[in-house]
Structure 1
């Protein structure tokens, strides 16, 4: 089968190449991929700024249908479509984090797309416990978004302590940031979205979706706008989703005393920030990485209820052969979610 493979360590070293079809094993099913989204992690693997184990097939945001079953896969129907929780493909199941459901911190963890073969290809193997069924009315494309949506659900619904009447700064209108925005708006939260001039289309989209205010930080004074919109108090919560040094500084400076800072974006390098503000304003600082199994249950239920529309998060659909074009669009901030379809 044709697959997009990180074939060696180092920046780049990604290409389309033939890989063996996965073989059915006891306790696993073989699935045919519908589509797989490009994630910022895929770009980090491409640039070798995220730990990876080549040769490995990239891609982890996907839905697929079951085409073959091994023994001991009761409850899984042939032909059924599922979203796949690829992050727990390899875990120890013995550590305190696995026992508590926080498998993201298992030292043995290897997820699809960087640690084990992922879904930028036609066929994948998975265990039944990795499969999450969305409702029949949910499209294949939206089913492929459960994974990144779960990241947003974790940050907004489980890590942050949101209250009615809060004002939120969302810094970074990329794919994950805009999924956070969907959740914030669904809860009626006054949200200020900050980006740069490169994000003009996404900022326009954020405004169309219902963001209270959008700010181009390289053309407007964000802190002046924050002071105006909060009557001089500062925002209650800041979500940093850009993974950029300037974005962190903007968030920290925008927060009121005792405010919450939630780090969602990844940097892939060390940065310098005004960290004294964490003490001087007694900020609550939290990181948000991935999700838990419970997060996936919650994310699927939100999607099934239909109260949060995700179709318009998808801006591009293209064949796997155009992967480089898709990666370039992501790098240049010319897209939200891009889905690649196998040959």
Structure 2
């Protein structure tokens, strides 16, 4: 079967390879991958700015159909529609973080798509506890967004939560930003989305999704627009999803006194900040990476309630053979969420 793989360390070194089908062990389920999303992490792995362990199949955001179950598996049957918690492929299970459900901080952890083989292929096997059934009324495309949704839910529901009536600045309308926007709009918040010239397609998509205002900072003055929407006070809450130094600084500048900034975007390099703004404005700065066990419980409840429109974020679907085109479209910010599938 075909697989998109990081074949060697260093920038590039990603290829479409033929690999053997996977064996299903007693405590595992075998899943036919229907859709797998391209994440910013996949692009970082392509450029070798995110730690990875080649040779390894990329991809970690996915949904599919159970096609085989191990002898000791009791909670799944062939034909079940599932999504997968990919971050717990390898953990120690014994450290303080694992015991708290905060598996992302386990020193031995390796997740799918960078540490063990991931979902940019036809079939995968995962432990029974990593798979989650999804309701019949949730599309497999939307279910493939469970992992980025979990990242957003942890950041904006568990670590810091905007209050009713808050004005939120969302900087960076990439896939993670669009998922964040969907959750914020669902909560009835006033959201200003900021991007640059290259974000034109994504800014238009943000407008269609219900953003209160979209701002092209390459052509418009963000500060003036924020002042106009907040009576000159600045935004209550900012979500940085671009992972770019200028975007981070803009968020700090546009926050009101006692405002809050959640950092979701991975930068991949050092950043120079006007750090005194954090002091003088008494800003709360919260980083967020991945998710926890409690986060996944919330994501499954959101799927059951079916109140989020995740399908509208998906603008393109490509077969694995066209992975280069799909990656380029994602990197050039010409799309919303891009999915790959195995023909």
Match of 1:97 in 2: 97
The Cα of 1:154 is off from its aligned counterpart by 1.5
**Deviating runs (4+, > 4 A) in structure 1?**
none
CA distance in 2, matches of 1:283, 1:245: 17
Is it true that 1:220 corresponds to 2:220 in the alignment?
yes
2:282 is paired with a residue whose SS is coil
Matched, 1:261 2:247: no
Question: TM-score scaled by structure 1?
Answer: 0.98
Counting only pairs closer than 5 Å after superposition, residues 300-319 of structure 1 correspond to structure 2 as 300-319=300-319
Q: Structure 2 CA distance, aligned partners of 1:251 and 1:24?
A: 47
Other-structure match for 1:326: 326
Match in the other structure for 1:276: 276
Q: Verify: 1:173 aligned to 2:173, yes or no.
A: yes
Aligned residue number for residue 80 of structure 2: 80
Write the mapping of 1:1-343 to structure 2, written as runs, cut at 5 A.
1-343=1-343
Deviations 1:231-287 (A, max 9, x none): 111111110000001000100000111110100000111111111111111110101
Instruction: Tell me the distance in 2 between the aligned counterparts of 1:203 and 1:35.
Output: 25
Q: CA deviation at 1:38?
A: 0.6
Output the CA distance in 1 between the equivalents of 2:173 and 2:323: 22
Aligned 8 A contact 2:205 2:336 in 1: no
TM-score by length of 2: 0.98
Q: C-alpha displacement at 1:300, in angstroms?
A: 2.1
**How much has 1:20 moved relative to structure 2?**
2.0
CA RMSD, aligned part only?
Answer: 1.0
SS in 2 for 1:150: helix
Unaligned residue ranges in structure 1 (runs of 5+): none
After TM superposition, give the deviation of residue 123 of structure 1 in Å: 1.0
Cα distance between partner residues in 2 of 1:134 and 1:298: 13
Moved more, 129-138 or 299-308: 299-308
Rounded to whole Å, the distance in 1 between the matches of 2:137 and 2:177 is: 25
- 1:122 deviates by 0.6
User: After alignment, is 285-294 or 109-118 more displaced?
Assistant: 285-294
CA contact 2:63–2:140 (8 Å) conserved in 1:
yes
Task: Report the Cα offset of residue 188 of structure 1.
Answer: 0.8
Deviation at 1:204, TM superposition (A): 1.6
- Please give the alpha-carbon distance, in whole angstroms, between the structure 1 residues aligned to 2:67 and 2:198: 43
3-state SS, counterpart of residue 198 of structure 1: helix
CA distance in 1, matches of 2:284, 2:136: 41
Cα distance in 2 for partners of 1:177, 1:51 equals 23
Q: Secondary structure at the match of 2:278?
A: helix
| Mean Cα deviation higher: 44-53 or 269-278 | 269-278
In structure 2, distance between residues paired with 1:35 and 1:20: 20
Distance 2:167 2:7 in 1: 45
Q: CA deviation at 1:161?
A: 2.5
In 2, Cα distance between the equivalents of 1:315 and 1:226?
29
Q: 2: distance between equivalents of 1:207 and 1:26?
A: 48
- In structure 2, C-alpha distance between the alignment counterparts of 1:267 and 1:131, rounded to whole Å: 30
The number of residue pairs the alignment matches comes to 343
